[in-house]
């Protein structure tokens, strides 16, 4: 299909289609799940109602064969709108044992448990594989040159050369725009993320069942609190206090329930703590670093734009960290790994720990600025690395304003965010 931008998840999706009877591609709305699946599907059923067309859900209730009948791979878009589809798909995979790539499912939310708990009877293990799709990284949008391969760094290769210098205004634009495929060539890139946030507060909440009633004011206050605390390790009690109304904090149970709702919409992509082995008895903190699924969401929630972010460089730094860790997580997953953060009770921290599935890892600090900020970040990386019994494959500072990828005399790499690829 013309106009499709290749995604890093493509190769994994193709592999899983050759391995499992069905693959569920899930993630936030507007990330390009349907478009990605359409490149592979030979037939499709869409649960989203089109103007002038009959209600597909009503049709499916009358005759479920309409959902599943067609050439394979068959795309079933937004399957969660009819939770029974899960077991129907699993049963067909069982009946056609040995066949692979029969179905592609997409989902932009988890079916409410009270609604679907008595409908879905089987986990789908071994039949339906789950794959999470993110918004686009800068490498996927074409804004990163891909000059520096993280995989190559793990193999001991060095870096050199120059890239196009990126301005602070461009960095802010990348944050405000985010990685939404439909937001790459529009006149005002702030509009789509703002509309997305408005839908979170309105139509998405309206889809919840009556058993999951939500106080909209409290829910909005929590989302604002999460946006203010983007890229930080923030406890439930801190969020509850920060989201207080008339100086009355939310109760922890409400905060936890609303976080679950955001999770069910795939709007959170929190970064877990890394737990290495130590020579010393230094105790590690285990709290997750909180992130929305895309850096444009916290920016839209607080009303950030190109002008006011320049007046709040501290918050701009948090949003740049969000942008960088968003991309590093996508690159880590493309390499079969995961992204963590490090924090101990000696008050030593590392922004990102990229861990491969074979156990090799790298320590990465993230700095918007250059020169002095990078010097301090490099010293911190060397200090933390000295604590570890198992040594990292490399140390790196990912920067927004660094003019070129280089290896310092102390061995620490300085890597512009717009030079990276998996």
From first to last of the 422 residues of the chain, give the pLDDT tens digit.
Answer: 457 899 999 999 999 999 999 999 999 999 999 999 999 999 999 998 878 888 999 999 999 999 999 999 999 999 999 999 999 999 999 998 889 999 999 999 988 654 555 566 656 677 899 999 999 999 999 999 999 999 999 999 988 777 888 999 999 999 999 999 999 999 999 999 999 999 999 888 887 655 567 899 999 999 999 999 999 999 999 999 999 888 888 999 999 999 999 999 999 999 999 987 655 556 778 899 999 999 999 999 999 998 999 999 999 999 999 999 999 999 999 999 999 999 998 899 999 999 999 999 999 999 998 778 999 999 999 999 999 989 999 999 999 999 899 999 999 999 999 999 99
DSSP H or E stretch at residue 383: helix 372-387
| C-alpha dist (Å) from residue 123 to 91, 96, 100 | 12, 18, 18
Whether 239 maps to a domain, the answer reads yes
Same domain, 331 and 409: yes
Residue 35: in which H helix or E strand, if any? helix 33-38
Residue 254 buriedness (CB in 10 A; 0-12 / 13-18 / 19+): middle
Question: Which residues does residue 46 pair with via DSSP β-bridges, in sequence order?
Answer: 77
- Asked whether residue 2 is domain-assigned, the answer is no
Are 113 and 240 found together in one domain?
Answer: no
**Token pair recorded at residue 284:** 């590690």
Shared domain for 225 and 274, answered yes or no, is yes
Range of the domain at 255: 138-421
Q: What is the predicted pLDDT for the residue at 118?
A: 52
Question: Is residue 383 domain-resident?
Answer: yes
Could you tell me if 280 and 255 are in contact, meaning their C-beta atoms sit under 8 angstroms apart? no
CATH of the domain at 21: 3.40.50
In a domain, 1, yes or no: no
CA pair distance 3, 32, nearest whole angstrom: 12
Given a contact cutoff of 8 angstroms between Cβ atoms, the answer to whether 89 and 105 are in contact is yes
Q: Of 113, 132, 151, which residue constitutes the final position of a domain?
A: 132
pLDDT of residue 1: 40
Q: Which has the closest alpha carbon to 236: 219, 220, 216, 256?
A: 256
Spell out the alpha helix ranges (H) of 207-280.
Answer: 216-228, 236-242, 252-264
Domain limit, last residue, from 85, 102, 132 = 132
Task: Please tell me whether residues 349 and 394 are part of one structural domain.
Answer: yes
Q: Do residues 230 and 282 touch, judged by C-beta distance below 8 A?
A: no
Residues 228, 302: contact at Cβ < 8 Å?
Answer: yes
Sequence-distant (6+) residues with CB within 8 A of 341 are: 233, 271, 272, 273, 274, 289, 349, 350, 351, 352, 353
Judgement on whether residues 122 and 153 belong to the same structural domain of the protein: no
> Which residue in 212, 175, 218 sits closest to 193, CA to CA?
175
Residue 366 lies in a domain: yes
The answer to whether position 4 is within a domain reads no
Number of domains in the chain: 2
pLDDT of 205: 82
- Tell me what pLDDT residue 98 has: 81
Last residue in a domain, options 132, 164, 188: 132
pTM, whole model, 2 decimals? 0.94
Pairing type for strands 74-77 and 43-46 reads parallel
What pLDDT does 110 receive?
87
Let me know if residue 83 belongs to a domain: yes
């Amino acid at each position: 299909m013309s106009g499709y931008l290749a995604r890093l998840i493509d190769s994994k999706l193709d592999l899983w289609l050759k391995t499992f009877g069905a693959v569920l591609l899930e993630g936030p709305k507007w990330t390009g799940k349907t478009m990605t699946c359409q490149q592979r599907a030979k037939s499709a059923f869409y649960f989203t109602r089109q103007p002038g067309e009959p209600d597909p859900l009503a049709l499916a209730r009358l005759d479920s064969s309409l959902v599943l009948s067609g050439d394979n791979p068959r795309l079933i878009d937004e399957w969660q709108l009819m939770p029974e589809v899960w077991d129907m798909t699993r049963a067909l995979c069982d009946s056609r044992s040995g066949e692979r790539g029969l179905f592609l499912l997409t989902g932009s939310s988890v079916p409410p448990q009270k609604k679907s708990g008595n409908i879905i009877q089987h986990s789908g293990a071994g039949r339906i594989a789950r794959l999470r799709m993110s918004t686009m990284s800068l490498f996927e949008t074409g804004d990163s040159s891909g000059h520096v391969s993280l995989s190559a760094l793990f193999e001991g290769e060095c870096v050199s050369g120059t890239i196009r210098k990126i301005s602070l205004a461009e960095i802010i634009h990348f944050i405000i725009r985010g990685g939404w495929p439909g937001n790459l060539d529009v006149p005002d890139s702030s509009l789509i993320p703002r509309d997305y946030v408005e839908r979170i507060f309105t139509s998405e909440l309206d889809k919840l069942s009556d058993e999951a009633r939500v106080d909209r004011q409290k829910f909005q206050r929590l989302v604002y609190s999460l946006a203010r605390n983007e890229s930080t390790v923030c406890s439930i009690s801190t969020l509850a206090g920060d989201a207080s109304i008339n100086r009355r904090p939310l109760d922890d149970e409400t905060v936890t329930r609303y976080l679950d709702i955001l999770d069910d919409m795939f709007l959170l992509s929190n970064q877990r703590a890394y737990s290495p082995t130590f020579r010393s008895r230094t105790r590690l903190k285990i709290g997750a670093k909180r992130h929305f699924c895309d850096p444009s969401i916290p920016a839209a929630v607080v009303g950030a734009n190109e002008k006011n972010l320049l007046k709040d460089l501290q918050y701009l730094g948090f949003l740049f960290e969000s942008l960088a860790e968003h991309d590093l997580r996508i690159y880590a997953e493309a390499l079969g790994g995961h992204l963590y953060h490090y924090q101990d009770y000696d008050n030593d921290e590392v922004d990102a720990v990229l861990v491969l599935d074979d156990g090799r890892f790298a320590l990465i600090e993230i700095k918007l600025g250059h020169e002095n900020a990078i010097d301090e970040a490099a010293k911190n990386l060397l200090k933390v690395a000295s604590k570890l019994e198992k040594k990292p494959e490399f140390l790196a500072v990912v920067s927004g304003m660094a003019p070129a990828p280089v290896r310092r005399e102390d061995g620490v790499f300085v890597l512009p965010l717009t030079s990276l690829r998996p």
